[in-house]
Amino acid sequence: MASMSVKHAIAAAKKLRSLQERFNPGGSDIYPALMGDEAITALIPSGNPLSVHILMFTRALREQGTDEQYEKFGRRADNNEIIGTFAQTELGHGTYLRGLEARADYDRGTEEFVLNTPKLSSYKWWPGGLGQTCNYCIFVAQLYIDNEAKGMAMFVVQIRDEETHMPLPGVHVGEIGKKMGLNGVNNGFLGLKDYRVPRLNMLMRHQQVLPDGRFVKSPVSQVSYFPMVFVRCMVARQNSNYLAQAATIATRYSVIRRQSPIEEGQPEPKILEHLTQQMKVIPEIVTAVVYRLAAANLQNMYNETAEAVYRKDFSRLPELHALACILKVATSYDSTYGIERLRQACGGHGYLTAGNLGNIFAMAAPACTYEGENSVLYLQVGKILMKNWSQVLAGRELMPSMAYISECSKMTSFPQWTGSWECLLKAIQYACVGSIRLAFQSYNARVQSAQSQTAAVNYSGLELTKAAELHGRSYVAGNFYQQIVNSPNKHQRSPQFQKVLENMLELHLIQIFFRHLGDILRFIRITEDEISALQRRLEEVLKELRPDAVAITDAFDFNDKILSSALGCYDGNVYERLFEAALKHPLNRKSVPDFFEAHLKPFMKENADNAKKSKL
Ligand SMILES: CCCCCCCCCC/C=C\CCCCCC(=O)SCCNC(=O)CCNC(=O)[C@H](O)C(C)(C)COP(=O)(O)OP(=O)(O)OC[C@H]1O[C@@H](n2cnc3c(N)ncnc32)[C@H](O)[C@@H]1OP(=O)(O)O
Ligand SMILES: Cc1cc2nc3c(=O)[nH]c(=O)nc-3n(C[C@H](O)[C@H](O)[C@H](O)COP(=O)(O)OP(=O)(O)OC[C@H]3O[C@@H](n4cnc5c(N)ncnc54)[C@H](O)[C@@H]3O)c2cc1C
């Protein structure tokens, strides 16, 4: 499987090169890379062994290395002359970066770094492509000068001979084993023993070690985390894509499959006529659209911030970090749960490999873990919200994506309930700010009672993650509302198209309202009649969107090869394709399976003989 994946990945990387030359000759524009990776990722159901090379290795060389280091390593990596990965996570640590054990000791006598993974737990473990594909990596280690820890640093390390691909002396490298999915990625392990690299193999755009061993600190230590921010932004886009693929499959299947008359004596309807089926499928279509728009916004913010960082302007890093965390978590959680809901909406056939929903789930699910485990990133955002609440209390302005927090903090109570879109959006934001306030009271009380910040974060963790989740909902719903209601190109849309978009906004806001009704009722008084009115509107908007469901998913424009699903094929010949896939199963090559003579027949005969004996 790994070699097949590498073969496909190389073919797509060549396509990527031609895309790059067509779209942006000689440039390093990321979009062809992403499209290439999107195509590679979609066309290789077992995952792309070059993903981390494309998305992290090449970018770290560009963003963390000096111009000279880019010339020496980065250009060859961009040109796929060398293939690398990003080796940060260890067997013993993934989340807690300050606990990483791999070390780099500076030897001023030879102007080299001596790299070691001192214990088994220090082995790098998980990096994509590390097992067999890569001959280089970015090796993340704790930097030591005269045995004094200086923090994390990144090193360009060659791990295999470029001609023979043999591991170099001092390198212990291999595959970590079978996973739930992505088994074409050859995630690997890496141990280094007294492995020496020249001083100039440490990426030094932001921090330096001079020949005499003097250390020049980075102006902003977090800029070394920047490669992770990029992938978090990509996860938001990638996982909204996976959800869109699953929604396309389930929607098409739901208008082919007929089951259970709604009226006695009537013919069996398409299952998408059942209201409960509409509630399983249509909200997922809308969620895919909502996150695709949010991910595009985030991508633009990433590009602007990356350019600013290149100019040593780090001012927008904190906001990008907060948004990248919140969107990576929200899209990976909601897409993973959504794909499973869509699989279940396809009944038994949804469980067949030929439907491909299981594989899409297996591709989407690890995004809840990699690039920052989701609850850890929620806690990270919770901490940032605490800092921002202190700013609110001090009357200071907040970053643009948190401006609503200041506005809501000035409201002494929630205005008269109208049920309008603005009202629903404000309710979600108001509940978020109420949750932030409560979390802050708990957190601050702990800090005031002499608990350390880290301990206070831990013991306030449930409230911090709730506040973070509601902040994510507020940001995503607010972004969708702006794009539908206040977009500058709204007038270019046909009235019919605008109506479909507004129906999607209606559904998204009501769905989020009901999902967080408990959180909202904690801070806002809403009557039973007002809630029942929203229930009616939910049923109504599902009915309104039902006729557009297929057209919206067709607009995602996935061809049959990308969907790779007998349930979601464009021509709708589901049963013929399921049967065709079944007949291809190896067990159907013979009428009598080999195990009959070897196992089943003796087993049945032994039971029959025993039965006869017991009668005698
Ligand atoms: C479909 C189209 C797209 C095409 C396909 C795209 C596919 C994309 C996805 C698939 C690709 C590849 C496959 C998967 C690759 C996966 C690769 C990996 O997993 S790499 C390893 C990832 N590991 C992590 O993410 C580690 C998680 N841990 C952390 O990030 C940090 O430990 C922490 C943030 C949890 C804690 O940071 P720490 O410094 O230890 O401590 P503090 O929390 O106190 O933070 C101090 C200070 O720094 C700020 N901060 C933290 N992180 C960042 C950051 N990233 N950027 C900016 N600022 C940061 C934090 O807010 C604090 O600030 P203060 O002001 O001091 O409070
Ligand atoms: C498919 C895949 C691909 C990957 N690719 C790469 C790669 O290319 N390069 C790379 O370097 N890494 C890679 N990783 C590793 C990935 O980045 C880590 O698995 C991830 O960062 C989580 O760290 P961990 O595995 O140590 O989990 P842990 O941090 O051990 O998490 C276990 C549990 O502990 C909890 N926990 C941890 N810390 C805290 C805390 N402070 N507060 C509360 N709870 C906490 C977590 O929430 C979680 O529930 C990959 C992982 C996967 C699954």
pLDDT at 502: 98
Instruction: Quickly count: other Cβ atoms within 10 Å of residue 8's Cβ.
Output: 20
**∠ CA(339), CA(343), CA(347), 5° rounding?**
165
**Side-chain half-sphere CA neighbours of 7 within 13 A:** 4
The minimum-distance atom of ligand 1 relative to the CA of 387 is 67
Rg (CA), the chain: 27
91 C-alpha vs ligand 1 centroid, how far in Å?
Answer: 18
490 C-alpha vs ligand 1 centroid, how far in Å?
Answer: 36
pLDDT at 31: 43
Annotated binding site for FAD: 89, 128
Percent of the chain with pLDDT over 90: 89
pTM, two decimal places:
0.94
Tokens of 377: 């990133």
Tell me the backbone φ, ψ of residue 196, rounded to 5 degrees: -100, 135
Average pLDDT over every residue of 70-77: 97
The minimum-distance atom of ligand 2 relative to the CA of 373 is 22
CA pair distance 493, 536, nearest whole angstrom: 28
Cα-Cα-Cα-Cα dihedral sign, residues 378, 379, 382, 383: negative
Q: Is 371 a catalytic residue?
A: yes
Q: Which of 335, 325, 285 is nearest to 301 (CA)?
A: 325
Tell whether ligand 1 has an atom less than 6 A from the beta carbon of residue 90.
no
The residues with which 202 forms a beta bridge, in sequence order, are: 155
Tokens of 87: 């080796």
Catalytic: which of 63, 371, 506, 544?
371
pLDDT > 50? residue 358: yes
pLDDT digit string, tens, across residues 136-174: 999 999 999 999 999 999 999 999 999 999 999 999 999
pLDDT digit string, tens, across residues 286-328: 999 999 999 999 999 999 999 998 888 999 999 999 999 999 9
350 C-alpha vs ligand 1 centroid, how far in Å?
Answer: 35
Tokens of 476: 């995503």
pLDDT at 20: 55
369 C-alpha vs ligand 2 centroid, how far in Å?
Answer: 6
pLDDT at 43: 61
CA pair distance 584, 71, nearest whole angstrom: 51
pLDDT > 50? residue 337: yes
Question: What confidence category does residue 28 fall into, taking pLDDT thresholds of 50, 70 and 90?
Answer: very low
CA pair distance 255, 547, nearest whole angstrom: 10
Tell whether ligand 2 has an atom less than 6 A from the beta carbon of residue 95.
yes
Residue 4 burial class via C-beta count within 10 angstroms: exposed 0-12, middle 13-18, buried 19 and up: exposed
Choose the weakest-confidence range: 3-7, 34-38, 348-352, 444-448: 34-38
pLDDT digit string, tens, across residues 364-406: 999 999 999 999 999 999 999 999 999 999 999 999 999 999 9
Average pLDDT over every residue of 91-113: 97
CA dist list (Å): 236 to 330, 378, 388, 550: 8, 15, 24, 24
Tokens of 333: 């959680």
Residue from 37, 359, 370 whose mutation best tests the ligand 2 pocket (most atoms within 8 A of CB): 370
The residues with which 86 forms a beta bridge, in sequence order, are: 138
Choose the weakest-confidence range: 25-34, 81-90, 537-546: 25-34
CA pair distance 134, 150, nearest whole angstrom: 28
The minimum-distance atom of ligand 2 relative to the CA of 179 is 1
pLDDT > 80? residue 24: no
pLDDT > 60? residue 279: yes
Instruction: Specify whether the CB–CB gap between 100 and 140 falls below 8 A.
Output: yes
